[in-house]
Chain A
Amino acid sequence: MLTLTSVYAGYDSTPVLHDLTFEVRRGEIAAFIGRNGVGKTTLARTVIGLIKPTQGSILFADEDVTGQPARSRARKGVGYVPQGRGIFGDLTVEDNLKLGRTIGPLAPRPLEYAYDMFPILGERRSQIAGTMSGGQQQQLAIARALIGQPDLLLLDEPSDGIQPNIVEQIGELCTKLNRDEGLTICLIEQNVDLITSCAHRCLLLEKGQITQRFSPDKLQDPEVARMALAI
């Protein structure tokens, strides 16, 4: 579903990803872990196309998308939920959701789909999104990405600053979407509970590369957790 081969990417002054290679298979939930500042967000932005790699290639659904802008990748079926949520703060909840309709090649889902998934969004549909709580905004960002029926969901630290029961809800949602609809998920996370609740596999990012791949159970080992996460 998603293959990165020898990707180099970063910012003008700071190279971050360095000969990065990995594959995420169709129907998989892959957790990307790594310490703060190691480049997880850079990886997500490179996958969606907001950062252009200087070298290497990115394949999505067997198509080389390396040179394509973010909008094309989104329209081909990548749903992106950025770190910090990327909500349009001046727009209403409903308008934010409508903006997810350009994702994916298939017809978008009705807004009711989002309201069924997260009832609070239905109750607040005409509220200005910037005035919602962090947890509500996270739900909105996830629902917005799912409205467009993506094939790949890219979640960047969805648990960041969110209370435990909503984190749990997000884990259950990932499991359900993966099982029922075969949704492939790249989950960038630091939260052990969320990772172990839904991920099939962990990929450890260190010094711009994936250095280890292991089963999520391993994170129960405090030694592994200390090495892999920012805790």
Chain B
Amino acid sequence: MGDIISFAYQYADSFALLALSSIGLVIIFGMMGVINMAHGEFMMIGAFGASFGFQWGLPLSLAIVTGVFAATAIGLLLERLVIRKLYGRLLYSLVATWGISLVLSQGALVLIGPSVPSLPNPFGTVSVGGMNFSVYRLFLVALAIALIVTLWALMRFTNFGLHARATMTEPDMAEALGVRTTRIYMVTFGLGAALAGFAGAIFGLSAQIQPTFGAAYTPIAFIVVVVAGSRNIIAGLLASALVLALVKTSFTVGFNILTGYVAMLVTALIIIRLSPTGILDLIGKLKALASQHRSSTAGTSAEETKNA
């Protein structure tokens, strides 16, 4: 029993880490086919902003909001100046955002220095049935779920979401119906930057905040995003994070943390080898295969009855 609870706790914790570190990246990639190499730097800006806000005497929650604002503002500015010209051009956008990431991290190093004061972590631990759980980790899990649900509701129930879904699949047709697609792209990029900044500020509660801060999370985020694909942002993110977290946790528990990461990477490679467009299409293919198998076995048995 204790093992199961401990596994579930670790699984949820991995899921939260994967989901939170990738959510902003997944949105931007899903909406506009742009891999934002500066994702980690947006996280860094979120954490820096929160740290500064806290030093100015803001309460922690408002300090985090400051970090989100900073990341959003810089994200919107970059969208206007650079990203807008690169929509749908994967390689250009890779190079350009990579350049931006270098400028941002080096700029932070030069202007602000190698590190800023840490944020306090207000969370303690709870112990249930003799086991200790970090409230901070449980909070991350709740936050990941809340963000995914909010995002789902935004896409599903609002006019913005409808226009965004239309723009994502058929930008020309959306435009021809009067959808302001450039604005949709701008808002989405801003949203992606905001979520990256938010994740950064939250992770900043438990990590040292420095210009290379994002580097701890970006490899994970990139793995999650390629597995998530760009067909359906929320379902892709969920499926990707759930599956990869399961692999990571299983191998971490069975062997060690390093094996967990390696297994997660290998799984990701297998998934995109089988289905370059992501896990949702793989699931679709498997479903089709299963039903084909079912109908072909049904077909043979019908054949056999007829022959008999």
Residues of chain A at the chain B interface (Cβ within 8 Å): 48-50, 69-71, 74-75, 80, 82, 86, 88-91, 95, 98-100, 102-103, 144-145, 148
A82 in contact with B178 given A88-B166, A91-B166 (CB within 8 Å)? no
How many angstroms between the C-alpha atoms of A103 and B170 in the bound complex? Answer: 17
Please tell me if B176 contacts chain A, counting CB pairs below 8 Å.
yes
Q: Which residues of the other chain, B, contact A95 by a CB distance below 8 angstroms?
A: 162, 165-166
Q: Which residues of the other chain, A, contact B163 by a CB distance below 8 angstroms?
A: 99
How many angstroms between the C-alpha atoms of A124 and B5 in the bound complex? Answer: 45
How many angstroms between the C-alpha atoms of A145 and B177 in the bound complex? Answer: 8
How many angstroms between the C-alpha atoms of A144 and B231 in the bound complex? Answer: 23
A49 in contact with B176 given A90-B165, A98-B162, A99-B162 (CB within 8 Å)? yes
Q: Which residues of the other chain, B, contact A91 by a CB distance below 8 angstroms?
A: 162, 165-166, 169
Q: Which residues of the other chain, B, contact A74 by a CB distance below 8 angstroms?
A: 175-178
Chain B residue at smallest Cβ distance from A100:
B177
How many angstroms between the C-alpha atoms of A99 and B184 in the bound complex? Answer: 14
Q: Which residues of the other chain, B, contact A100 by a CB distance below 8 angstroms?
A: 177
Q: Which residues of the other chain, B, contact A69 by a CB distance below 8 angstroms?
A: 175
CB of B231 to closest CB in A, whole Å: 8
Name the interface residues of B166-199: CB closer than 8 Å to any CB of A.
166, 169-170, 172-181
Q: Which residues of the other chain, A, contact B169 by a CB distance below 8 angstroms?
A: 88-91
Please name the 6 residue pairs, one residue from A and one from B, whose CB atoms are nearest each other, closest first.
Answer: A102-B178, A74-B178, A86-B173, A75-B178, A70-B175, A70-B176
How many angstroms between the C-alpha atoms of A100 and B162 in the bound complex? Answer: 11
CB of A182 to closest CB in B, whole Å: 21
Cβ-defined partner of B170 (8 Å) among A70, A88, A98:
A88
Given A50-B172, A90-B165, A144-B177, 18 other A-B residues pairs in contact with their CB atoms under 8 A: A70-B175, A71-B180, A80-B177, A82-B173, A82-B176, A86-B170, A86-B173, A86-B176, A88-B173, A90-B169, A91-B162, A91-B169, A95-B166, A100-B177, A102-B177, A102-B179, A145-B177, A148-B178
Residues of chain B at the chain A interface (Cβ within 8 Å): 162-163, 165-166, 169-170, 172-181, 231-232
Q: Could you name 13 residue pairs across A and B whose Cβ atoms are closer than 8 Å?
A: A50-B175, A50-B176, A70-B172, A70-B175, A74-B175, A74-B176, A82-B173, A89-B169, A90-B165, A90-B169, A95-B166, A98-B162, A145-B177
Chain B residue at smallest Cβ distance from A79:
B177
Q: Which residues of the other chain, B, contact A90 by a CB distance below 8 angstroms?
A: 165, 169, 231-232
How many angstroms between the C-alpha atoms of A142 and B175 in the bound complex? Answer: 16
CB of B163 to closest CB in A, whole Å: 8
CB of B183 to closest CB in A, whole Å: 9
CB of A222 to closest CB in B, whole Å: 36
Asked whether A88 lies within 8 Å of B178 as measured between CB atoms, the reply is no
Asked whether A99 lies within 8 Å of B176 as measured between CB atoms, the reply is no
Cβ-defined partner of A48 (8 Å) among B162, B174, B176, B180:
B176
CB of A132 to closest CB in B, whole Å: 16
Q: Which residues of the other chain, B, contact A80 by a CB distance below 8 angstroms?
A: 176-177
Q: Which residues of the other chain, A, contact B172 by a CB distance below 8 angstroms?
A: 50, 70
- The interface centre, meaning the residue of A95, A98, A99, A148 with most chain B CB atoms within 10 A of its CB, is A99
CB of A140 to closest CB in B, whole Å: 12
How many angstroms between the C-alpha atoms of A91 and B175 in the bound complex? Answer: 16
Q: Which residues of the other chain, A, contact B231 by a CB distance below 8 angstroms?
A: 90
Chain A residue at smallest Cβ distance from B173:
A86
CB of B172 to closest CB in A, whole Å: 6
Q: Which residues of the other chain, B, contact A89 by a CB distance below 8 angstroms?
A: 169
Q: Which residues of the other chain, B, contact A49 by a CB distance below 8 angstroms?
A: 176
CB of A100 to closest CB in B, whole Å: 6
Asked whether A71 lies within 8 Å of B175 as measured between CB atoms, the reply is yes
How many angstroms between the C-alpha atoms of A91 and B170 in the bound complex? Answer: 11
CB of B218 to closest CB in A, whole Å: 29
Cβ-defined partner of A99 (8 Å) among B166, B180, B232:
B166
How many angstroms between the C-alpha atoms of A50 and B165 in the bound complex? Answer: 19
A71 in contact with B181 given A80-B176, A82-B173, A88-B173 (CB within 8 Å)? yes
How many angstroms between the C-alpha atoms of A144 and B174 in the bound complex? Answer: 12
CB of B177 to closest CB in A, whole Å: 5
CB of B284 to closest CB in A, whole Å: 12
How many angstroms between the C-alpha atoms of A50 and B175 in the bound complex? Answer: 8
CB of A85 to closest CB in B, whole Å: 9
